[in-house]
Structure 1
Amino acid sequence: MNETIRIFAIEIRKQAIRPDNHLFSTAMKNRIFLPSQIIVILILLLVSHSRSTVAQSSVRDASNASFGLFENEDPLEIVLQYDLTTYLRRKPKEEYIKGKITFHPGSADSITRDIRLRTRGVFRHTQCYYAPLELNFRNTGFGYSDLDSIRKIKMVPQCNPGRESEKYVLIEYLIYKMFSTLTDTSFKVRLLTVKYIDSENRQKPFTQFGFFIEPVKMLAARTNSMEIESRALTQKTVYPHMIDRIAIFNYMIGNFDWAVPNQHNIKTFKPRVFESEYLVTAVPYDFDFTGLVDASYAIPDDKITGTTSIRDRIFLGVCRSREVYQQALVEFLEKKDEFYGLINEFPYLDAKQKKKMIYYLDTFYEQCTGKQRIVSVFLNSCKNF
């Protein structure tokens, strides 16, 4: 570009100094100092070049910047546009539906890209009106490093229409946040307000809460590990302090819908730098079937669990000594105020629901008084895998 400007300036000057040139004669008649015109033209060209360079630089910078998908606590506004009728009636689990996603990182900003999506899940796939979603971002090119690193991402919508189902998805989101206060080896989540638009114009647009779950590969990269799947894994093959934390946390929230074998609502990882050749890390997920959420559809099989109430608690951890359990409970006692703060300061649940959640957690902490009562519960129901 600079070479073009130089050649252009030389050529204009050559033309200007020729006495027979019309530009020269006109300038002389009107007493116009022609070199000043040249300077103005050059300045305009340089400004144009500068703006172009800045614009190209901005694009390059954006590609290296992070969108901060899981670093921001504020709800992210997104728009999903796809064939809602096909999604609701057929719930395609194998084939993808073409769609568009729009991110609204700010009131005046938006990013729209073509994506593909399909349904996922097991229980909620059949029981929920709005089945859980998997969004495929492959080859999308958002221009942000974290978004462009994502090939597939899970989205949890509310299960059914109505405020009751909205409450369930918000509480489940909070449970993920609660576990993350205990350890970084956990799934990050991002709360969403999702506007759904039917690409076929057969249904009216509607807006609901939902949340993104950090992709497994992103968690593995963040924790310098790799996912492994094996039927041979048991609680005894997980680092003891990790599986004890998971077992007590699931007991606290009233979750007995998990197991390490077959990795049922548990993901397992092998650290790339490991202390033991035989032990793995584990991360729980999928918390809608818990006493803390208390979803109307969450009815336990009493033949398996021995109860028909999701509000009951069942300890499914591996057997330890009384001293090990007492030590494992320390971080739960230390995090009590933080757990309660997450609930009380959350602006999207009403006071009645918060009170119900706090009451349920209170019943756990009442058992922890002196630690003896709850440790006895653990010892009476623990498993020798």
Structure 2
Amino acid sequence: MLILSGLISTPLLSQNDAADTVYSVTDTLPDDYNLFSKDEVLDISLSFDIKYYKRKRSDEEYLDAVLTYYTGENDSITRNIKLRSRGIMRREYCDFPPLLLNFKAKDSVGKEFNKINKLKMVTICKKGQEDYLLREYLVYKIYNILTDYSFKVRLLRINYINTGDANKRDRQFAFAIEPVDLLSKRLNSFEVPLRTLHRNIIKPDMFDRMAIFNYMIGNVDWAVGNQHNVVVLQSGQSDRPDLGICIPYDFDYSGIVDTDYAVPGEGVDIKSVRERAYLGLCREKQDFEKALKEFSDNKDAIYGVIRDFPYLKEKSKTDMIKYLDGFYSQFDKRNSIVNNLLFDCRRYGK
């Protein structure tokens, strides 16, 4: 079995998001405040050549941009930054590809963007698809309910200013994802360098939580082996420092988000992303029951994340809750949920 202890701490950016080090951030700031310390929507403006950005959609070429965010009713802070597109499928498919923002070291001091070097931002893929973005944002928030070992997100309301088209403006939602270096520091851990990993080197309770969560939301677009939509961390303060910590991200292919471009993954016997398949490892029944208890205990809080969110259409809220009902209906007297996990893990998890 591969042991993780002894690996060198090497922070990495996933999804081809490695960037030059010209805009590196110093590490001398207090940790008590950053973009992800609050939940309310943050209003910002981004001014850059959007016309050129959409045409080139390069994940290598950085464009000059101006970011303005508002610290009060009449106060704002403006920063000159660099940005580029990121991702794989969404960078090719979306009319407006996701963004990677790159801050200068001196601009990463204080306020909202404290200690942030590079920031991944999820944008609305195509016009009329705001609900997809808000649904995915809520999926991150639901996982936050279950564990601190999860990516924090912050909802943004962006005023885009297109300098390539007579400063034409457009206002849209987006959300920012906690950078891996901030996540690692928050959890007193470091990212395991990208390599082929076996699922057995992940802490069993964390692997099971992530696998059941992905089953709950109808997501089969993940894998620990090649760290596909999964970040693996290691913590020397863990009760098992030789085992890794897995944290999922990118949920646009899940059934609960149900984007128009999502298709089932290869090797999984489902015809639609709205169907569920459990890709976790097989466990004893009592182990599954223990892992499932936190999902049962947090059911009301999970539903509350959706019901209490003011920006999603009621129709979409109803659809998300109905989809979760399909998961929780398996918590019955026949223990259907455990039997279904056991059936799937023998086919896929082994």
> Which TM-score bucket, shorter chain as reference?
0.7 to 0.9
Give the structure 2 partner of residue 92 of structure 1: 58
Q: Is the counterpart of residue 134 in structure 1 residue 97 in structure 2?
A: no
Q: Displacement, 1:104? A: 1.4
- CA displacement at 1:107 relative to structure 2: 2.3
Partner of 1:273: 237
1:145 deviates by 6.5
CA distance in 2, matches of 1:294, 1:68: 31
**Residue range with higher mean Cα deviation, 360-369 or 132-141:** 132-141
4+ residue segments displaced more than 6 Å: none
Give the Cα separation in 2 of the matches to 1:276 and 1:72. Answer: 32
Q: Distance in 2 between matches of 1:360 and 1:128?
A: 25
In structure 2, relative to structure 1, the CA distance for the partners of 1:300 and 1:128 (3 Å cut) is same
Quote how far apart the aligned CAs of 1:381 are: 1.4
> Contact 1:64–1:143 (CA<8 Å) still a contact in 2?
no
**1:359 is the counterpart of 2:325:** no
CA distance in 2, matches of 1:130, 1:309: 25
1:149 aligns with 2:115: yes
Q: Do 2:51 and 2:165's aligned partners in 1 also have CA atoms closer than 8 Å?
A: no
Query: What CA distance in whole angstroms lies between the structure 2 residues aligned with 1:247 and 1:99?
Result: 39
- Write the letter of the residue equivalent to 2:123: P
Partner of 1:342: 305
Write the deviation string for residues 148-195 of structure 1: whole angstroms up to 9, x where unpaired: 411101000111112xx1000001010000000111111000000011
Distance 1:65 1:265 in 2: 27
Question: How far apart, CA to CA, are the structure 2 residues paired with 1:105 and 1:370?
Answer: 53
Partner of 1:121: 87
Secondary structure of the residue that 2:341 maps to in structure 1? helix
The 8 Å contact of residues 122 and 133 in structure 2, kept in 1 or not, is answered as yes
Percent identity of paired positions between Structure 1 and Structure 2: 43
Looking at structure 2, the residues matched to 276 and 145 of structure 1 have their Cα atoms a distance apart, in angstroms, of 36
Ranges in structure 1 where 5+ consecutive residues have no aligned partner: 1-62
CA contact (8 A) 2:235 2:241 kept: no
Equivalent in 145, 151, 170 of residue 134 of structure 2: 170
CA distance in 1, matches of 2:35, 2:332: 39
Question: Relative to 1, partners in 2 of residues 1:72 and 1:145: Cα closer, same or farther, differing over 3 Å?
Answer: closer
Query: Which of the two has higher C-alpha Rg?
Result: 1
Partners in 2 of 1:179 and 1:69 — Cα distance? 19
How far 1:203 moved relative to its partner? Answer: 5.9
Distance 1:73 1:206 in 2: 23
Distance 1:103 1:87, change over 3 A: same
Q: Give the aligned partner of residue 19 of structure 2.
A: none
Q: Structure 2: how far apart are the matches of 1:224 and 1:111?
A: 31
User: Counterpart of 1:209 in structure 2: which amino acid?
Assistant: F
2:112 paired with 1:112: no
- The C-alpha deviation readout for 1:25-46, integer Å capped at 9, x for no partner, is xxxxxxxxxxxxxxxxxxxxxx
In structure 2, C-alpha distance between the alignment counterparts of 1:251 and 1:327, rounded to whole Å: 16
Question: Given the alignment of the two structures, is residue 237 of structure 1 paired with residue 201 of structure 2, yes or no?
Answer: yes
SS at match of 2:324: helix
Displacement of 1:108 after TM fit?
1.7
Paired amino acid for 1:365: Y
Q: Distance in 1 between matches of 2:236 and 2:110?
A: 27
Give the secondary structure class of the aligned counterpart of 2:101. Answer: strand
* 1:178–1:225 distance in 2 versus 1, CA, 3 Å: same
Instruction: Tell me the secondary structure at the aligned position of residue 247 of structure 1.
Output: helix
Cα 1:94/1:230, change in 2 over 3 Å: closer
Aligned residues of 2:120 and 2:176 also touching (Cα < 8 A)? yes
> Shift of the alpha carbon at 1:142?
4.9
Normalised to the residue count of structure 2, the TM-score between the two structures is 0.87
Distance in structure 2 (CA, Å) of the matches to 1:371 and 1:116: 56
Q: Provide closer, same or farther for how the CA distance between residues 67 and 198 of structure 1 changes in structure 2, counting only shifts above 3 A.
A: farther
Partner of 1:307: 270
* Distance of 1:280 and 1:305 partners within structure 2: 26
Shift of the alpha carbon at 1:143?
3.7
Structure with the higher helix share, 1 or 2: 1
Q: How many angstroms apart in 2 are the aligned matches of 1:225 and 1:384?
A: 27
Equivalences, count: 320
